[in-house]
A = this chain, B = another copy of it.
Amino acid sequence: MHDFQSLKSLIEAEINALQLEGNPKELYEPIRYSLSLNAKRVRPILTLAAAELFGGTLSKATKPALGMEVFHNFTLLHDDIMDNAPIRRSNPTVHARWGTNIAILSGDAMFVKACQLISEAESFCLKAVLDLFYATALEVCEGQQLDMNFEKISSIGIPDYIEMIRLKTAVLLAACLKAGALMSAASKNDADEIYAFGENMGLAFQLRDDLLDVYGESKFGKRVGGDILSNKKTFMLLKAMEVADKSQKEKLDFWMSPVPHQEEDKIQAVTEIFNTLNIKGFTENEIDFYYQKGLKNLHNISVGIERKGVLLNFTESLLQREI
């Protein structure tokens, strides 16, 4: 078995070896660019780690694992158009660099590339892997649509938000793990448990991401307080609205109103309200809730505990980012 750092190295080498030199170059250059940017490669690492957990060999799982990474980068590419985001991983987004049309089309081509890689799964599990992948891809689209819808709806509850991040983020992590399990002929029960593990850890991971947006250090070109500035209805803001008293609620409403605010003032004021309401504590509890559920899923998998260390270490490395 390989530790997650060596799985990452393997994936980087395989990404570099992908044949993406086609014509016309306007179509393929943005694909190479997207995949060349510094990234954590979480999804293919999960697929390979799951494949090894159940005793499979890496070589059979590598192409579909890469497919998951290409698919993920395709969703980022199209999401960045929809969100009008100028920067991704400290670099210009594809639509900012090449224009919207090329971004739409090279994204489409990237999706096809992802499908090609995933369809390299061995024939004994091909249909199962495809069914899982396509169902997940639809869910990711649904999550992105909900995310866009929520910008315009004021009455979002915490369960709505959790469902949105489940679809937009957690199910793909879950599917990456389950795909690895399927390719190693894991039992149905184990495949379901590792899916649930990924779903719960995915929710924990996204909630941690939200927390870092307020309490983290600026990193990866993402500014601290971005969610506050854009009034994004994260768990943190929704929780704050839930537990705030009348005067705190009015203050939050004021800072979220379309009145022009100084950016730094807004971030500071909302953060102070979060501090008063212990939103950090609430969020850490919520993260821990999903983390513990995920650990239980991992525990339930019928594989010796000594084999589970890689996935556990990797998950911890993702969740124990400094605050």
Chain B residues in 8 Å Cβ range of A82 = 101, 104-105
Determine if B149 and A26 form an interchain contact, defined as CB atoms under 8 angstroms apart: yes
Q: A24-B146, A78-B108 are in contact. List 14 more A-B contacts (CB 8 A).
A: A24-B142, A24-B145, A27-B141, A27-B142, A82-B101, A100-B100, A107-B108, A112-B137, A116-B135, A119-B127, A119-B130, A119-B134, A126-B127, A130-B130
Whether A134 contacts B115 in the complex (CB less than 8 A), given A81-B104, A82-B105, comes out as yes
The distance in angstroms between the C-alpha atoms of A154 and B263, with both chains bound, is: 48
A148 at interface by CB-CB < 8 Å: yes
Interface centre among A82, A111, A115, A141 (most CB of B within 10 A): A141
The complex is assembled from copies of this chain, and their number is 2
Q: How far is the CB of A52 from chain B (nearest CB, A)?
A: 25
**Inter-chain contacts of A78 with B (CB < 8 A):** 104-105, 108
Bound CA–CA A311/B229 (angstroms) = 60
Q: Mark A133-144, 1 if CB is under 8 A from B, else 0.
A: 011011001101
Q: Does A258 contact B (CB under 8 A)?
A: no
Q: List 15 A-B contacts (CB under 8 A).
A: A24-B142, A81-B104, A82-B105, A100-B100, A102-B148, A105-B141, A105-B148, A108-B108, A109-B142, A112-B137, A112-B141, A115-B137, A116-B138, A119-B127, A123-B123
Partner of A116, one of B27, B101, B119, B134: B134
- Give A contacts to B, CB under 8 Å: 22-24, 26-27, 78, 81-82, 100-102, 104-109, 111-113, 115-116, 119, 123, 126-127, 130-131, 134-135, 137-138, 141-142, 144-146, 148-149
The answer to whether B138 touches A112 (Cβ under 8 A) is yes
Give bound CA distance, A162 to B138, whole Å.
Answer: 35
Chain B residues within an 8 Å CB radius of A22: 138, 142
A179 to B119: give the CA distance in the assembly, Å. Answer: 16
> Is B112's CB under 8 angstroms from A144's CB?
no
Determine the distance from Cα of A127 to Cα of B118 in the docked complex, in whole angstroms: 11
Query: Quick check: A105 and B23 within 8 Å, CB to CB?
Result: no
Contact B109 A138, beta carbon cutoff 8 Å? yes
- Closest Cβ of chain B to A121, distance in Å, is 10
A148: chain B residues at CB < 8 Å are 26, 101-102, 105
Smallest CB gap from A74: residue in B: B108
Cα distance A134–B101 in the bound complex, in angstroms: 21
Chain A to chain B: the 4 pairs with minimum beta-carbon distance, closest first: A109-B141, A82-B101, A27-B145, A112-B137
User: Taking the nearest CB of chain B, how far is it from the CB of A8, in angstroms?
Assistant: 27
Q: Specify the chain B residue showing the minimal Cβ separation from A164.
A: B24
Nearest-neighbor residue (CB-CB) of A131 within chain B: B119
Question: A108 contacts which of B24, B101, B109, B111 (Cβ < 8 Å)?
Answer: B111
Instruction: Please give, as numbers and ranges, the residues of chain B lying within 8 Å of A108 by CB-CB distance.
Output: 78, 107-108, 111, 141
Q: Which residues of B contact A26 (CB under 8 A)?
A: 145, 148-149
